[in-house]
Structures are given as C-alpha cells and as structure tokens.
Amino acid sequence: MISSALRPALILSVLALSLSACSPLTAFASLTPTDRAQQAGAGVAYGVEPRQRLDVYLPPQGPSAAPVAVFFYGGTWENGRRQDYGWVARALAAEGFLTLAPDYRLYPEVTYPTFLEDGALAIAWAVQNAERLGGDPAQIVLIGHSAGAYNAVMLGLSADYLKAAGVDRTRIRAVAGLAGPYDFLPLQGETVRGVFGAANSLADTQPINHVSADAPAAFLATGASDTVVLPRNTEALAAALRAQGVSVETKVYPDLGHAGILLALSRPLRGRAPVLEDMSAFLRQHTQAGETAAASVAARQRP
C-alpha cells in the first residue's frame, strides 16, 4: 500500500489504464490508502448463484442502529467485482453507515432485469441481517456509480423488484446516484443494446419513467466534464423528481469526468471535490442516523 501522499496524477493514470483495458479497478484498489473500518464479512452469500455474494463493512467505532448503505459499482453491466471497491465501502463505513458491497450477475450471462433482481435480493439480505450486525433495517440507503447508479436508483424508484424479494420499499430512505444513466433511449452501443434490447418495453427500462410522488429522497451528482454518461441524465431525473415533490439535491462538480466523481470518494483525491462529504450529509439527513454516524465521523477525523 502506498502512502496517503500518493500524487493524484499517478492515481488517475492507473485508473485510466484499467478503464481503457475494460478491466476491474484492481490496481487502484491495491494502491490507494483506505479509511479505517471493520470488515465483518467477505463473500457472504445472499443467493445461490456464484456472483450473489457481498462484503460487509462496519463503522470504525462499531455500529449501533446505524443506517445501512448498499453500494452498487458500475461497469456497463458487463464488468466489475466487489473486491475492487472495498475503498468505497470503507469510506462509507467511516461516515457511519453499515455498508454492503454486493456483486451481481453481468452481461452476457444475464440481461435486464436480472441484475436488478440480484440487487433486490442483496437488499433483502440487508433487511434480514442488519439488526444482528448493528444496523437499522428500516433505514436503508442505496448508492451507485454509473451502471451501479442505474441499479440503485431503479431499485429505489420501482417497487416491483423489492416487492418480489419481500422488501417494503418504505425501508429505502434515500438513493444516491453518481454519474448514472437514467434516460438513455434510444439505446446506443453494442453492449447496452445487448443488455436492454430484448426488454418487453424499452420505456420500462428507464428510471425516469418510474418517478412517483412516493419515491425516496435522491442525491444526484455528476461531473461537468463527463462525456461517458452526459450530465443531462442527472438533470432530467432531478427535474422529474422535483415535479413530483420528492426531496432532491443535485451537484455538478466542475472538472470531474465519469471516473473522477467516483475517485473523489477515495482518500487521496477528496480534495478534488467534496463528493463524499456532500453525499453523506444528504443521506444522514434522510435517515435516523442518531448519534452513531456523528460519533463515527468524529472518530475518523481525530488525529
């Protein structure tokens, strides 16, 4: 592990290399310093399929009725593994959340909506197990980046997947989407067409078409320089939610691109934009975090 003084330019170069090769962020995950948190489970099964596994992270002071965060990584629904995002999960745990990082099945093994069904099962596992881990199963937040933001937001907006998994949607107190695609018809790109092209209704695949007045509060953020998932996705979904009276906070961070908004959650690159601070404050505002989250944050900030 390198020191916290690692130059941001080197980190960005490593990430760019891994992204250009369409590979997981293994190099970045192994290089970046991480926040202090307790890993309480690795590769825990939430279903019977090989990729239905999740990792669990506890706040550094230990949870006590802590809000539960479920983080979904991106990768065009084609790439990704939970082990490469432990630094994100640890960052969220250090903010006071009992954090789960699940894998889910990917294209071409599966297509829409199977990965959403997997996500719903992971949330069901959270509901069933949060209390014994010190979390509050009635205070769940869903977080994701890129395709993972699609998953998180779609699961928060459409009650069908959670209902099928036996989860009451009112347990979802808020969602947070970073650089997510929410309104992307017509389908573009071979992979995206492969993932969604066989859907009975393409309109139903779009999160923006599932907006309702009872949707959970939403933190929606994007980088102004994102050319992979254009900021108009964030702007359109935010406008649709506000029109229904849903609590929404939007952030457009200057000079951040598609990967940069995720990297800003890491310890070495938090100076580029306060993504973690802004998102965590919003999520705590919409959960009954009690004193645990505040105590955990205070502990993390102490020398």
Contact between 3 and 32 (Cβ < 8 Å):
no
Predicted local confidence at residue 239, as pLDDT: 98
CA 227 from chain centre, in angstroms, equals 20
Q: Convert the pLDDT of each residue in 96-115 to its tens digit.
A: 999 999 999 999 999 999 99
pLDDT bin (cut points 50, 70, 90) of residue 141 is: very high
The model's pLDDT over 182-201, given as tens digits with 9 standing for 90+, comes to: 999 999 999 999 999 999 99
* Residues paired with 143 in a beta bridge: 71, 176
The matching CATH number, chosen from 2.40.30.10, 3.40.190.80, 3.40.50.1820, 3.40.50.720, for 35-301 is 3.40.50.1820
The radius of gyration computed from the CA coordinates of the chain, to the nearest angstrom, equals 18
* 1 has a pLDDT exceeding 90: no
> Do 76 and 301 meet the contact criterion of CB atoms below 8 Å apart?
no
Residue type, 269: L
Mean pLDDT for the stretch of residues 113-131: 98
Mean pLDDT over each residue of the chain, to the nearest integer = 90
Lowest-confidence pick of 70-79, 124-133, 168-177, 288-297: 288-297
Question: What type of residue sits at position 26?
Answer: T
Distance, CA of 165 to CA of 184 (rounded, Å): 27
- Alpha-carbon distance 77 to 69, whole Å? 20
Domain positions in the chain: 35-301
More confident residue, 257 or 296: 257
Classify residue 56 by burial, with Cβ atoms within 10 Å: 0-12, 13-18, 19+: buried
- Using CA atoms, how far apart are residues 161 and 117, in angstroms rounded to an integer? 6
Query: What would the pLDDT profile of 2-17 be if each residue is shown by its tens digit?
Result: 344 444 544 544 444 4
Residue 130 has pLDDT above 50, yes or no: yes
Q: Convert the pLDDT of each residue in 203-244 to its tens digit.
A: 999 999 999 999 999 999 999 999 999 999 999 999 999 999
